[in-house]
Structure 1
Amino acid sequence: MTGRLIDESSGTTSPSLPTNNRIDPIKSMKRRNAHSSIALVSMALLATVVAAQESTTSLEVETDRGWIVGERAGELSPVAVFRGIPYAEPPVGDLRWRAPQPKLPWADKRPALEFGPACVSQRSALRTDQVRDEDCLYLNVWTRSAGTDQSLPVMVWIHGGAFSLGSGHNEMYDGTRFAESGVVLVALNYRLGLFGFFAHPALAQEEGGRGPFNQGILDQIAALQWVQRNIESFGGDPGRVTIFGESAGSISVCYLVASPFAKGLFHRAIGQSGGCLDRHPTLLDGTPAAGRSVPGEPRLGGHEVALRVAAGLEASGPGLEGLAELRGLTLRELVFRFSRNGLSLPRKSVYVDGHMFPDQMRTLLEKGLGSRVPLLVGSNTDEGRSLFVRTREIPWEEWSESVRNRPHGHGRALLEAYAGDAKESTRTAQQQMLADSLFAWNARQWARTASGLGDDAFLYVFSHAAPSRQWGRTYGAYHAAEIRYVFGNPLLSDWNDQDQALANLVHTYWVNFATKGDPNGDGLPEWPAYHSDSDIALNLNADPEPITNYRMAKLDTHELINSF
């Protein structure tokens, strides 16, 4: 029996402080009347919804494992929602830390009316309000075309949460609006933290030398395989699947694009604030990439981390017997020991394992060894100020000294790039430096890599100050702010007409990209394709327009740091 814990819903929205960043438009490009364009988008979407209301959808669907029964998203809604569909066997008991196993068939019609439990992690186990369990490999589907012969584009959402929090059924991720717009929307759970990224070397002994060390990513692949087998029954086209995600979900999208294991399972990719192109991933001993670690930089391999954690969990040894002991622990006991003994996992949870990832992710992307698909990618302007709210204001001299002394001689380059910001505020400079590295640089470099291979790429910068009140303050374009606009789910009562118009526009761009691999469409502000020679992006706000060379000098500095 697996234990079940209660955890609070972990939305990924984070607050941010107002920004002073200025984005300069292309001076030579004619300014469009974006408000008129957005109004046209709203009219087009209304027509889509009216057409949707005339469609019929079945509430009973036969999958390859058995029948499921869903319900309408609302009393008069044309959309059917199927919640809590299992795509693999529960990863509990002897299946803990193993690759996801095929779900056994069921005989009766299975109700798909409630979301399945969210995946538990060592971070979330003691929280409340939302059911969390190891038995969590479920997905949800929103569609207006189940049981029909339609073949609609499919979008698969991968949630964020630092690979340790979150689920596929946060209310922000409600897929009704996408279904009304002619998309079949799938949102999935995947294993997290200690349960999803545990590289114990004994796992390789069970799998003939190829251990399932990235269990959470294997879950995502299993869900995509489920989509390929079943999505036609929901009115979806298995040949037009777009994967998209935010933060850790966006990083997951990057991993899936890079991995040869996921080839053929999707056909477009959208990354929202997250990538995998840095040169410092967590490696596993014995892999080709492990021999190319940064000279002079201490490196703790993934196997070594797992063995330290196993010892801290009081396993009797490093082999199969010790692993079996850990599998025999209840969920509560495992989490209790992890917390009591002060254990931790690497910030970069996904491992270069030599199999799913035969080399560093950036190398795989640059060589085109994964999936060659159209890409839409970007970041938000205030992510550093929202994520790193605990950063302190310190004297200029102290800040400059700490930056100057960074290893590998990069400190001087960073100091030169951010000195102007730091003289205004060392806190803001530090926050922006971290955000540029994690988000803006990763987005630009990912677009450059795809474009350099000849794949279509579209880059964005989301700069709209989204309404969000927390701790008595109003925030800007914070981390995850764009999600509500992408899904068209305001959640807050303080959205104004400008917010709704921008949501119509952003949502339409995403739907167009999923439909044809290009976000552009009639009546929309033009979104130029990315090319490294022009370094062009679309500034997404109430007056959207193309921009060039966004934070170029600073992002070039981060490219220098990651270029060896």
Structure 2
Amino acid sequence: MRRRSIALLAGVSAAAVVAASLPAMAGLVAGAPESAYPGQYPVVRTDDGLLRGEAKSMVTSFKGIPYAAPPVDGLRWKAPQPAAKWRGVRDATQFGGSCVQGIGWDPGYEQPTLTEDCLYLNVYRPTDTKEKDLPVFVWNHGGGNVGGAGRDTNPDKFVTRQDVVYVTINYRLGAMGYLLTSALEQDNPDSAAGNFGILDQQAALRWVQKNIGSFGGDPDNVTLAGQSAGAGNTAAQLAAPGGRGLFHRAILQSGGGGAARTPAAARTSGEQFAAELGCVPGAGQASCLRAKSPAQVLAAQIKYRQSGAVAGTAVLPDDPLALLKAGKLTRLPVVVGGTSDESQQSVFGAYDYLGKPLTKDQLDSLIATTYPNGADKVRTAYPAANYKSPTVTWGAIQSDQRACRDQTLRDRLAANTKTWTYEFAEKNDPPFVSIWRLNTDYPFGATHVNDLGYLWDYLGTALPFSTAQVDLSNQMISYWGAFARNGDPNVKAAPAWARYTPQGTELQFAAPSAKQVPHTQIDTEHNCALWDQVSPAP
């Protein structure tokens, strides 16, 4: 194992590190504030220059670290380029900008984000530990590849309890990260077009390999984890040649089993997007696109959404789903799982949240349209009278269908690599922070993203857990931390988590404690006999 000495200069002010007075530059500081206590603003040396972070009693953080050059002007829709080096000490106590995205219901996203200078990451480490070569946990945020940022996740409780170095990253989103047109293909002979966001993630992982030793992390012990779109991106990194060797195990939460876009489909959608902006095919299209403002890009994206990796390119030669089905996706250890009511959140967002709850007739129409060869069977299995509303009924249908497809994903993974599987099934309040703020009585259950609050805090909010839920949270943090340390999630004083074999046992999380349950139990709870017939996994 490669050993690197920690270069954390705790208690040394920036002024002591840089004696000479330097020209004023954005992000650079001459020294710590006069009111600082000793050790509050430690300085770390990276390949690009010195960084000044902030030490608190439990966690030391370094925020807003550039891992690539700002993708602006001529670098918009280009592969990420190296960040510029700096002289002096760069302030790393504030987050960098989030990437371009529209509004959302998460706190802080009430207005569009129009910042293109966004390729930043954040590093967190335990303050008190003297250990070197700590395990490294890199978080690939979710948000449908059109929203979210590294700053959304506060990993303090995870970092302090598990002694890990935790990294959160930004990557380009929506059209900025995933646009593919013929002109952009010609403009990017490195085949970056359509996969700019995927390449951003690889650039961040390369930064980790080069620099994480300076923060006490072990570059030979990196876990790449993601949720939802972040899980899909992590699966893409497992399949991408450029991701090899940059991490050593993976966690896929509520995602990772879907197909990537084909070049033809991405190109067709991309040309429609470009036409919406008035940028016709040909030699001038790339320049025309780069002349549009972020607001214009977002407006066109509402009509022609651009998101998700493109397979069949040099960046991603093979579709991760195809590799998964062939047993060739990865040999790295993997934790994979989801929530028991995955789709209730998105269904609520599409109907009740907009003030347009489904009617019984609309529900029947959705079932008939979505499952033309099994509509009567679906209606029989999910009678609307058994649920609070037609919207909740549709959420249950969609959740169960997804759960059964996820079971197939787990079986495919476990057939060829060390795999541990789980289902998060804690259905009692509190829901995820964004939903919690809505103060609605919609019965979300254990819906998409609800598991995240049990591992780390989100958007600056610690959820009001019951004592039993705190116990469950502690177990989950311990399992995730153990996997990051040694590639096996098992810990003392917690239920055993058996390595999964196809059709074997899984770990189900519900307060106060996880428990092992057979695959058949989860199949039964989600009507998988029906869904394997009506809507089998691709």
Q: Same fold (TM over 0.5)?
A: yes
Preserved CA contact (<8 Å) 1:154 1:514: yes
Preserved CA contact (<8 Å) 2:337 2:423: yes
Q: Could you say which residue in structure 2 is the equivalent of 1:514? A: 484
Cα distance between partner residues in 1 of 2:50 and 2:316: 36
Does residue 306 in structure 1 map to residue 288 in structure 2? no
Instruction: Summarize deviations over 1:260-290 as a string: whole Å, max 9, x none.
Output: 3311111111122112335xx43112xxxxx
Instruction: Summarize deviations over 1:374-410 as a string: whole Å, max 9, x none.
Output: 11121112332222111745447x755653554xxx6
Secondary structure, aligned partner of 1:376: strand
Q: Cα distance 1:312–1:306, how it changes in 2: closer, same or farther (>3 A)?
A: same
Q: 1:362-373 alignment to 2 at 5 Å?
A: 362-373=321-332
Q: Could you say which residue in structure 1 is the equivalent of 2:421? A: 458
**What is the CA-CA distance between 1:241 and the residue it aligns to?**
0.8
Q: Could you say which residue in structure 1 is the equivalent of 2:469? A: 499
Does residue 268 in structure 1 map to residue 236 in structure 2? no
Which of 130, 134, 155 does residue 137 from structure 2 map onto? Answer: 155
Q: Could you say which residue in structure 2 is the equivalent of 1:443? A: 406
Instruction: Summarize deviations over 1:199-236 as a string: whole Å, max 9, x none.
Output: 12222212337243111111111111111111111111
Which of 415, 421, 441 does residue 382 from structure 2 map onto? Answer: 421
Cα distance between partner residues in 2 of 1:274 and 1:112: 32
Preserved CA contact (<8 Å) 1:257 1:372: no
Preserved CA contact (<8 Å) 2:72 2:116: yes
Q: Could you say which residue in structure 1 is the equivalent of 2:8? A: none
Q: Cα distance 1:385–1:522, how it changes in 2: closer, same or farther (>3 A)?
A: same
Q: Could you say which residue in structure 2 is the equivalent of 1:528? A: 498
Preserved CA contact (<8 Å) 1:464 1:542: no
Secondary structure, aligned partner of 2:465: coil
Instruction: Summarize deviations over 1:385-436 as a string: whole Å, max 9, x none.
Output: 222111745447x755653554xxx643465356322352453342123233
Preserved CA contact (<8 Å) 1:259 1:370: no
Q: 1:66-465 alignment to 2 at 5 Å?
A: 66-72=49-55, 74=56, 76-77=57-58, 79-122=59-102, 128=110, 132-144=114-126, 150-170=132-152, 172-175=153-156, 177-208=158-189, 210-278=191-259, 281-285=260-264, 301-315=265-279, 317-335=280-298, 338=300, 343-345=303-305, 349-389=308-348, 390=351, 392-395=357-360, 399=363, 402-404=366-368, 406=370, 411-413=372-374, 415-416=376-377, 419-423=380-384, 424-425=386-387, 426-438=390-402, 440-465=403-428
**What is the CA-CA distance between 1:494 and the residue it aligns to?**
3.0
Q: Could you say which residue in structure 2 is the equivalent of 1:546? A: 516
Q: Cα distance 1:368–1:493, how it changes in 2: closer, same or farther (>3 A)?
A: closer
Q: Cα distance 1:61–1:558, how it changes in 2: closer, same or farther (>3 A)?
A: farther
Secondary structure, aligned partner of 2:396: helix
Q: Cα distance 1:400–1:173, how it changes in 2: closer, same or farther (>3 A)?
A: same
TM value normalised by structure 1 = 0.77
**What is the CA-CA distance between 1:312 and the residue it aligns to?**
0.8
Cα distance between partner residues in 2 of 1:323 and 1:124: 29
Instruction: Summarize deviations over 1:111-143 as a string: whole Å, max 9, x none.
Output: 111000111125579955796511000000001
Secondary structure, aligned partner of 1:104: coil
Secondary structure, aligned partner of 2:64: strand
Secondary structure, aligned partner of 1:185: strand
Q: Could you say which residue in structure 2 is the equivalent of 1:14? A: none
Amino acid at match of 1:133: T
Cα distance between partner residues in 1 of 2:109 and 2:478: 36
Q: Cα distance 1:333–1:67, how it changes in 2: closer, same or farther (>3 A)?
A: same
Secondary structure, aligned partner of 1:412: coil
Secondary structure, aligned partner of 1:160: coil
> Which consecutive unaligned segments of at least 5 residues does structure 1 have?
1-55, 286-300
Instruction: Summarize deviations over 1:463-501 as a string: whole Å, max 9, x none.
Output: 242414433437532321111111267934632222222
Q: Cα distance 1:226–1:205, how it changes in 2: closer, same or farther (>3 A)?
A: same
Amino acid at match of 1:263: R
- Structure number with the bigger relative contact order (C-alpha 8 A, sep ≥ 6) is 1
Q: Cα distance 1:547–1:231, how it changes in 2: closer, same or farther (>3 A)?
A: same
Q: Cα distance 1:449–1:261, how it changes in 2: closer, same or farther (>3 A)?
A: farther
Q: Could you say which residue in structure 1 is the equivalent of 2:43? A: 60
Cα distance between partner residues in 2 of 1:522 and 1:177: 17
Cα distance between partner residues in 1 of 2:358 and 2:266: 35
Preserved CA contact (<8 Å) 1:146 1:234: no
Preserved CA contact (<8 Å) 2:497 2:506: no
Cα distance between partner residues in 2 of 1:182 and 1:531: 30
Does residue 480 in structure 1 map to residue 480 in structure 2? no
Preserved CA contact (<8 Å) 1:120 1:192: yes
Identity of aligned residues (%): 29
TM value normalised by structure 2 = 0.81
Tell me the number of residue pairs that the alignment of Structure 1 and Structure 2 aligns.
478
Cα distance between partner residues in 2 of 1:472 and 1:399: 21
Cα distance between partner residues in 1 of 2:467 and 2:536: 42
Secondary structure, aligned partner of 1:544: strand
Which of 462, 465, 471 does residue 439 from structure 2 map onto? Answer: 471
**What is the CA-CA distance between 1:157 and the residue it aligns to?**
0.7
Cα distance between partner residues in 1 of 2:510 and 2:75: 44
Instruction: Summarize deviations over 1:13-71 as a string: whole Å, max 9, x none.
Output: xxxxxxxxxxxxxxxxxxxxxxxxxxxxxxxxxxxxxxxxxxx9992111111111111
Q: Cα distance 1:211–1:487, how it changes in 2: closer, same or farther (>3 A)?
A: closer
Secondary structure, aligned partner of 1:119: coil
Secondary structure, aligned partner of 2:331: coil
Preserved CA contact (<8 Å) 1:375 1:456: yes
Amino acid at match of 1:345: R
Amino acid at match of 2:382: D
Secondary structure, aligned partner of 1:233: helix
Preserved CA contact (<8 Å) 2:191 2:315: no
Q: Could you say which residue in structure 1 is the equivalent of 2:25? A: none
Secondary structure, aligned partner of 2:383: helix
Q: Cα distance 1:514–1:353, how it changes in 2: closer, same or farther (>3 A)?
A: same
Amino acid at match of 2:479: Y
Amino acid at match of 1:103: A
**What is the CA-CA distance between 1:559 and the residue it aligns to?**
5.1
**What is the CA-CA distance between 1:503 and the residue it aligns to?**
1.4
